[in-house]
């Protein structure tokens, strides 16, 4: 049905005997010893998803980069002035005043409200050379200007999970049903003007590690069922559990297979991991 696009820089994994090469968000060629697997790329389209209404997902935001032509990624409202997205969405040097949000609209190009960003921060461990994965801690926090609170019709924050002090957290264990929403590339090859959604189970950490190699505690995988997947274009979009005002955001879309819906799981940032959750709380108070 659809593929959502939140901009995601492509990661290409070449299927070689033991070594694989991929391009990270800075377009640096890196060799890894990860297990053999299919071509990979940052996640972002919702493939075979369904139409969604912003009234049901009022925390959804379009991240707009005015330097690079507009729609770039998804994001989420977590309080009046604070939001979350993926670090690789903001790690591009765009001046703060050239980044906006659109909220309160099912259509990503018109309607709703425009909110103006004052500043954004990428997680301090994102892109750190000691990380086994260059996309580890791929999460950013953005603050809107004091005179640009994120409020209005169909604009409301989503709750965040509590801190988890263990490497393996079970608020979103394997089998947990999770919902992801976003605007992005559909199966027609064009980005969707209207919001899309899909529901899928979280994959067990063991199965995720088997497919992708050791992922580490800052990630979790979403399974692909019957071709339903996120794919190149929906970076930064939230993954949530629950319904209505009881929704909780557990993840941020990060990367996945370039062959969308081929069965390989998409990989997402785990918000409840203590190194991530503490950073969000310390910076935003949320």
Enumerate the active-site residues.
88, 138, 235
Q: Are strands 229-230 and 219-222 parallel, antiparallel or unpaired?
A: unpaired
The single residue listed with the structure tokens 């309080």 is: 79
Q: Are 250 and 271 in contact (CB under 8 A)?
A: yes
The number of angstroms, rounded, from the C-alpha of 58 to the middle of its chain's C-alpha atoms is 17
CA distance 102 to 110: 8
Nearest to 187 by CA among 144, 220, 231, 145: 231
**281: helix, strand or coil:** helix
Written as one string, the DSSP assignment of 167-221 is SS--TT-TT-EEEEEE--B-TTSSB-SB-EEEEEEBPPHHHHHHHHS---TTEEE
**76: helix, strand or coil:** strand
């Amino acid at each position: 049905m659809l593929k959502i696009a939140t901009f995601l820089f492509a990661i290409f994994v070449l299927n070689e005997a033991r070594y694989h090469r991929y391009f990270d968000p800075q377009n640096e060629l890196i060799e890894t010893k990860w297990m053999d697997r299919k071509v990979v790329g940052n996640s972002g389209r919702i493939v075979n998803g369904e139409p969604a209404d912003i009234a049901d997902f009022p925390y959804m935001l379009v991240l707009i980069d005015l330097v690079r032509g507009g729609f770039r990624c998804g994001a989420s409202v977590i309080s009046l002035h604070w939001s979350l997205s993926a670090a690789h969405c903001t790690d591009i040097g765009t001046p703060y005043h050239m980044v906006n949000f659109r909220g309160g609209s099912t259509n990503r190009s018109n309607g709703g409200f425009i909110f103006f960003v004052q500043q954004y921060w990428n997680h301090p461990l994102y892109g750190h050379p000691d990380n086994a994965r260059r996309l580890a801690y791929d999460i950013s926090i953005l603050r809107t200007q004091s005179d640009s609170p994120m409020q209005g019709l169909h604009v409301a924050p989503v709750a965040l999970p509590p801190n988890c002090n263990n490497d393996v957290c079970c608020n979103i264990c394997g089998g947990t049903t999770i919902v992801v929403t976003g605007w992005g590339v559909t199966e027609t090859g064009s980005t969707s003007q209207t919001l899309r959604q899909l529901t899928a189970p979280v994959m067990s950490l063991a199965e995720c590690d088997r497919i992708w190699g050791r992922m580490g505690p800052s990630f979790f995988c979403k399974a692909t069922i019957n071709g339903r997947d996120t794919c190149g274009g929906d970076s930064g979009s939230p993954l949530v559990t629950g319904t209505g005002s009881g929704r909780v955001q557990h993840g941020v879309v990060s990367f996945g297979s370039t062959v969308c819906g081929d069965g390989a799981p998409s990989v997402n940032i785990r918000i409840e991991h203590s190194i991530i959750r503490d950073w969000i709380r310390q910076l935003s108070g949320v």
